[in-house]
Amino acid sequence: MEFEETCRRAAEAIRNAGGLVITAGAGMGVDSGLPDFRGEKGFWQAYPMYERLGLSFVEAANPDHFARDPGFGWGFYGHRTNLYRETVPHPGFALLLSWIERFRLDYFVVTSNVDGQFQKAGFSGERLLEVHGSIHHLQCTTPCSMNIWDNNETIPVDTATMRARAIPRCIHCNAVARPNILMFGDYGWISARTARQEERFVRFQDEGRRGPLVVVELGAGTAIPTIRYLSERLGRQPQASVIRINPREARIDAPHLSLPCGALEGLRGIERNLQFPR
């Protein structure tokens, strides 16, 4: 199907929808200037220091660093904390919010991103599921309690060595604190905050709605397929439709819609057809 025709159908689905689920992966942040760590090359392009050390993304995103060498562990996560704090969400976020308002859509966001960009763009934290947790929240490394608290720390990082000059500490026991993010090979992640978000998402799915459900999936790759499976599962509901926006892996079975492009380009294409319906 031609690109513009797909955008037209996507716009029609959104106009007639009662509920909207936005599912997002790393590709959603690319238009805001964020690296997506896709493949080793993508990761090393963003962090040349780890290429010199021969560390892959999987090895850098490992909770063991916080126990063995907290300055090194916090180098990676401190740098990302600062980056995500500085990042301005691209205009695609505002387009989604405008559709929610214009068509009075009941919505929920499910993201594998830990960057907090949806909240920053104005989405409600009560309508959000962060499946891998959030960099803007901390927990104890031990952990001495199941507590999760806001990350208000200033974490300067020496980008030449990727070492943090300050180490966040547990507010209870003063052990090293870590981001409340599910890392690779992670047995210490406290899932309580994400579990509460999950409960809200289950309730959202149980609610009655005046129209069909539309899923807009943005930049969710096949490498970690959780988000794609969720979109497809929601798409099996009667009359539900999935709009998969992805520059490299856009394939999805009909009658669902596939837009092979970046998140912002796809959202703009749909917006064009919402403003000027043929």
Closest CA to 12 of 123, 109, 99: 99
144 binds Zn ion (CB under 5 A): yes
Give the span between the Cα atoms of 216 and 243, in whole angstroms: 5
Select the span of 73-81, 84-92, 138-146, 209-217 touching Zn ion (CB under 5 A).
138-146
Minimal distance, residue 146 CB to Zn ion, in Å: 10
Minimal distance, residue 175 CB to Zn ion, in Å: 5
Minimal distance, residue 60 CB to Zn ion, in Å: 24
Give the span between the Cα atoms of 232 and 23, in whole angstroms: 11
Minimal distance, residue 144 CB to Zn ion, in Å: 3
Question: Looking at beta carbons only, is 175 or 261 nearer to Zn ion?
Answer: 175
Asked whether 265 and 238 are in contact (CB, 8 A), the reply is no
- Burial class for 22, CB neighbours closer than 10 Å (0-12, 13-18, 19+): buried
List the x/- string, 165-204, binding to Zn ion by CB under 5 A.
Answer: -----x-xx-x-----------------------------
In the list 26, 61, 140, 240, the residue contacting Zn ion (rule: CB under 5 A) is 140
Question: Looking at beta carbons only, is 51 or 186 nearer to Zn ion?
Answer: 186
Q: How many residues bind Zn ion (CB under 5 A)?
A: 6
Question: Looking at beta carbons only, is 190 or 274 nearer to Zn ion?
Answer: 190
Question: Looking at beta carbons only, is 172 or 272 nearer to Zn ion?
Answer: 172
Q: Which of 38-46's residues contact partners 24+ apart within 8 Å by CB, and which partners?
A: 38/221, 38/223
Question: Looking at beta carbons only, is 90 or 178 nearer to Zn ion?
Answer: 178
Token output for 29: 């942040």
Q: Which helix (H) or strand (E) holds 137?
A: strand 133-140
Closest CA to 31 of 262, 271, 269: 262
Backbone angles phi, psi at 217, to 5 degrees: -100, 130
Question: Looking at beta carbons only, is 82 or 191 nearer to Zn ion?
Answer: 191
Q: Binding residues for Zn ion, per CB under 5 A? A: 140, 144, 170, 172-173, 175
